[in-house]
Chain A
Amino acid sequence: MFENLQDKLDRAFKVLKGHGSITEINVAETMKEVRKALLDADVSFKVAKAFTDTVKEKALGQNVLTSVSPGQLMVKITNDELSKLMGGQAANLDLSANFTIILIAGLQGSGKTTFSGKLARLIKSKGKRPLLVAGDVYRPAAIDQLKIVGEQIGVPVFTDYESKDPVGIAEAAISRAKQEGHNVVIIDTAGRLAVDEEMMDEIARVKAAANPQEILFVVDAMTGQDAVNTAKTFNERLDFDGVVLTKLDGDTRGGAALSIRAVVDKPIKFIGTGEKLDAIDVFHPDRMASRILGMGDVVSLVERA
């Protein structure tokens, strides 16, 4: 993939050979290729356009060193801008309070229940006492799923098979957690579409009742152009604190990460890298930038030059 982009950029710069700096004409041609690479990676159409405009401005007039090709330099500039937009540094979860409530939200099948388990396991390993809450009263066997996950990692799960009310479940779970000396509560919720008013209302009510310190929006890394719509709506309703990008063990380029970041300006805090409950990692903006552009080591290569 990278070879491809790199070659195309070099070709676009043919006219430039021998000249010392990047000019308007060849930068336009190059940005066309970068834009296509971003769109192929599922970056939102509008975000890709705005991004390439920014890079174009940054690139104009820059001097091309003799040791790197103009294409390489453009990739470097693009990558740097991309990393910057992605958030610069890895963001963390703040667990310093005595009692932390974490609410998990997202579309159907994005990986919320699995992530709830992964997070509980991680938090437990740091000496905390988490309680998982089965707040999905709709999906067939959703409660059983979380219960099994809890058993696998040795974390208790609050369930109420009779209740159809996620707000009541969250409230009951929180008071139980306090009684039993838990210091982190992780509330799993049902998957819901951003356009489902009733369900979006419901999760807003869960938020109001539980008053969580941390709301995480879980999104599938394979998501395409719709990522912006969904992230925007969930953010409008929940004002979430961070994003979780799942299924990055696949071969998707994950452009949704960039779109979401650009549209809601919230940090990506964790990534999911497998189905097993230890397959969780903190998010590294620079790695994601290279992944979206579909390039391997070029950045370090240019850096050395």
Chain B
Amino acid sequence: EKTKDSMFTRLSKMVAGKSRVDEEVLDELEELLVSSDVGVSTTLRIIERIEERVARDRYLNATELNTILREEVAALLSENNSAGFDDTYSETIRPYVIMVVGVNGVGKTTTIGKLAHKFNQAGKKVVLGAGDTFRAAAVEQIHVWGERAAARVVSQKMGSDPASVAYDTLKSAIANNEDVAIIDTAGRLHNKVGLMNELSKIRNVMNKVVPGAPHEVLLVLDASTGQNAIEQCKQFTAATEVNALALTKLDGTAKGGVVIGISDQFKIPVKYIGVGEGKEDLQLFDRVAFVDSLFREK
């Protein structure tokens, strides 16, 4: 708590006794935003917008500046249409299919485990598809999560075709009348064309079993990732029509500011945040809380 509003305090000091926001304040703001991985171009846009508003309201105190700042940053984060977790799941779609994608090690499998637990708590029957057939012990890992979250797991042996695992998972989800099917995929870097094409293939196979599937393509981003996350978003969206983001590892010191530009540029909402390694450590994204955390020093 003691450093909770340090940016605010700093701003207050700088604005005190001045009738307008000067270079010094804007420089400070630039450092704060860039240091949170917001990126230079998005930061400059935010600063421009603030300058515009400040030019309109000539006399500005620190509280007003602080409010404007938060408003402008939040405005760049696209509105998450689904207000709550359960709204993401439509009663009319069964099975509701979620495909989880992302680069290596960001937290895809863990997020799936946490999601399965959340659905389970909401009284839904969940099945997980062990679509990572490449990484050592990926199948064992998702089985452990299946146990933790009381979810059934469909898997084949290491090295088998992930599209075939996805196919099996959806077929059996229909047969078992399960509510939600979540498909894991192997981590892959977005600049590897062959691996990205594989994702499109998995997607197409699913659509044949359950028309409209996958209903949700969740791109997982690591909060400690810098500007490369923008390229990740671009390439994964091109290959799989990503429609939701999850931001993991926010329990660390990384602020995850890169999602501000991403959310603005691609109009894809951040839906979940990961705040730990346990099954309860998944939260719905809250724009206001997120923006507040940017201006707070951990």
A residues apposed to B, CB below 8 Å? 36, 39-42, 44-45, 107-111, 113, 138-142, 144-149, 152, 193-195, 220, 222-227, 229-230, 247, 249-253, 255-256, 275
Would A251 and B34 be within 8 Å (CB), given that A108-B249, A141-B137 are in contact?
A: no
Residue of B40, B106, B254 touching A224 (CB-CB under 8 A): B254
A-B contact count (CB 8 A): 140
Judged by a CB distance under 8 angstroms, whether B64 is at the interface is no
Would A40 and B144 be within 8 Å (CB), given that A194-B253, A247-B189 are in contact?
A: no
Judged by a CB distance under 8 angstroms, whether B8 is at the interface is no
Q: Which residue of B lies closest to A221 (CB)?
A: B228
When chains A and B are docked, how far (Å) is the Cα of A36 from the Cα of B39?
A: 10
Query: In the complex the two chains form, is A250's CB within 8 Å of B252's CB?
Result: no
Judged by a CB distance under 8 angstroms, whether B103 is at the interface is yes
Q: Which residues of B contact A148 (CB under 8 A)?
A: 136-137
Query: In the complex the two chains form, is B137's CB within 8 Å of A109's CB?
Result: no
Q: Ordered nearest first, which 7 A-B pairs have the shortest CB separation?
A: A224-B226, A109-B105, A42-B226, A140-B144, A145-B137, A226-B254, A141-B140
Q: Which residues of B contact A107 (CB under 8 A)?
A: 224, 249, 252
- Chain B 226-252 interface mask (CB, 8 Å, partner A; 1/0): 111101000000000000000001011
Would A224 and B224 be within 8 Å (CB), given that A195-B253, A249-B189 are in contact?
A: yes
Q: Which residue of A lies closest to B108 (CB)?
A: A109
Tell me the B133-151 residues at the A interface (CB within 8 Å): 134-138, 140-141, 143-145, 148
Query: In the complex the two chains form, is B253's CB within 8 Å of A144's CB?
Result: no
Judged by a CB distance under 8 angstroms, whether B37 is at the interface is yes
Judged by a CB distance under 8 angstroms, whether B214 is at the interface is no
Query: In the complex the two chains form, is B135's CB within 8 Å of A250's CB?
Result: no
Instruction: Report 18 cross-chain contacts, Cβ distance below 8 Å, ordered by A residue.
Output: A39-B34, A42-B37, A42-B226, A42-B227, A45-B34, A110-B105, A111-B105, A113-B136, A138-B277, A139-B141, A141-B138, A141-B141, A141-B144, A222-B226, A224-B226, A225-B226, A250-B190, A252-B226
Q: Which residues of B contact A250 (CB under 8 A)?
A: 103, 189-191, 228
